[in-house]
């Protein structure tokens, strides 16, 4: 078993991390998350990049006043924002994290140990900041290595070279991008689930009702499997639930891959990879 000092010394020599956080009007949560991350990564080779999708609140202020790098992505949409942040990252391991999700203490050391074990990518199990029985049951299933139970709120670490080789996130996906990429990661390399949990906001479940929202997620996933377009999926989603984070124009801007930026940063993605669908469940 490696001592804490040995782990930290090894980390400083071999590993470097870029934490990439997509944001859109996250002033309520981004500050406390960044405070936690800055404390956890003090004296380690870690950079934090906040990739913003056009926030109109105080998100930029909350980020910049902490000395964290804030960039404006060319397109709104989680996949596009994550790809843009990754294209600017300077370290050898990428860690994608939602603004309303907090990883456990010591998460950098968790990831480093999995890299030492030879894994190319991985995530945590999930928990919610609410004790509703259905949310507990829902989160319990994330311990299983089944793509249906992979959600972006579990966060994702991945070696930079692996991320490049698969072409990054599907830039044309406004929904399901967090689940779709797992299928390609598993085809290209090794994936693991760290047996600890992130804690994510249950806001959307509480606002819409846990059972109702999960039913909507299932309907979106089913329509995705049936080949419906991203615009159709988003229209279905917005019709069924209340979510202030979705812009009314999003359904009209389902776009092709932003080829210039995307292919320059991740030339490894072929046209077949870009167009491939995989079994996935709707993102939270």
CA 43, CA 38: separation in Å to the nearest integer?
Answer: 9
Q: Which residues touch 4 (CB under 8 Å, ≥6 apart)?
A: 109
- Intra-chain end-to-end CA distance of the chain, in Å: 36
Nearest to 253 by CA among 273, 235, 280, 240: 235
pLDDT at 84: 97
Q: What is the pLDDT of residues 143-199, one digit of tens each?
A: 998 887 888 899 999 999 999 999 999 988 888 888 899 999 999 999 999 999 999
pLDDT at 214: 87
Residue 13 lies in a domain: yes
Residue 176 lies in a domain: yes
Q: Residue 11: which domain range?
A: 4-204+256-275
Strand 69-72 relative to strand 156-159, pairing = unpaired
User: In 10 A of CB 52, how many CB atoms?
Assistant: 24
pLDDT at 139: 92
The ranges of the chain with pLDDT < 50 are 1, 244, 246-283
- H/E run at residue 102: strand 101-102
Residue 233 lies in a domain: no
- Number of domains observed in the structure of the chain: 1
What's this model's pTM, rounded to 2 decimal places? 0.81
Query: Running DSSP on this structure, what letter comes out for residue 149?
Result: G
DSSP for 88-101 reads H--SSEEEE--TTE
Residue 282 lies in a domain: no
pLDDT at 10: 54
pLDDT at 7: 55
pLDDT at 274: 38
Residue 71 lies in a domain: yes
Residue 281 lies in a domain: no
Q: Is the Cβ–Cβ distance between 167 and 273 less than 8 Å? A: yes
Q: How far out from the chain centre does Cα 103 lie?
A: 12
User: In 10 A of CB 221, how many CB atoms?
Assistant: 20
pLDDT at 124: 98
Residue 123 lies in a domain: yes
Q: What would you measure as the largest C-alpha separation in the chain, in angstroms?
A: 53
pLDDT at 149: 82
Q: Which tokens hold the place of 106?
A: 């010591």
What is the CATH number for 135? 3.90.550.10
Residue 222 lies in a domain: no
CA 241, CA 57: separation in Å to the nearest integer?
Answer: 23
């Amino acid at each position: 078993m490696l001592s804490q000092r040995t782990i930290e010394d090894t980390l400083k020599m071999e590993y470097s991390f870029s934490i990439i956080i997509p944001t859109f009007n996250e002033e309520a949560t981004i500050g406390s998350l960044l405070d936690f991350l800055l404390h956890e990564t003090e004296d380690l080779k870690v950079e934090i990049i906040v990739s913003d999708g056009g926030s109109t609140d105080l998100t930029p202020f909350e980020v910049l006043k902490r000395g964290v790098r804030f960039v404006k992505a060319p397109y709104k949409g989680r996949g596009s924002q994550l790809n843009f942040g990754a294209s600017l990252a300077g370290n050898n391991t990428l860690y994608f994290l939602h603004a309303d999700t907090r990883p456990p203490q010591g998460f950098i050391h968790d990831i480093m140990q999995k890299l030492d074990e030879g894994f190319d990518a991985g995530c945590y199990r999930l928990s919610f900041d609410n004790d509703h029985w259905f949310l507990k049951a829902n989160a319990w299933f994330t311990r299983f290595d089944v793509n249906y139970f992979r959600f972006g709120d579990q966060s994702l670490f991945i070696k930079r070279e692996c991320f490049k080789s698969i072409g990054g996130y599907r830039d044309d996906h406004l929904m399901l991008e967090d689940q779709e990429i797992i299928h390609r990661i598993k085809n290209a390399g090794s994936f693991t689930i760290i047996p600890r949990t992130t804690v994510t906001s249950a806001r959307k479940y509480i606002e819409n009702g846990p059972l109702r929202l999960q039913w909507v997620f299932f309907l979106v996933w089913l329509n995705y499997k049936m080949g419906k377009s991203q615009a159709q999926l988003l229209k279905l989603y917005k019709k069924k639930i209340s979510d202030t984070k979705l812009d009314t124009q999003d359904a009209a801007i389902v776009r092709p891959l932003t080829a210039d930026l995307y292919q320059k940063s991740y030339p490894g993605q072929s046209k077949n990879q870009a167009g491939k669908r995989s079994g996935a469940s709707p993102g939270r």
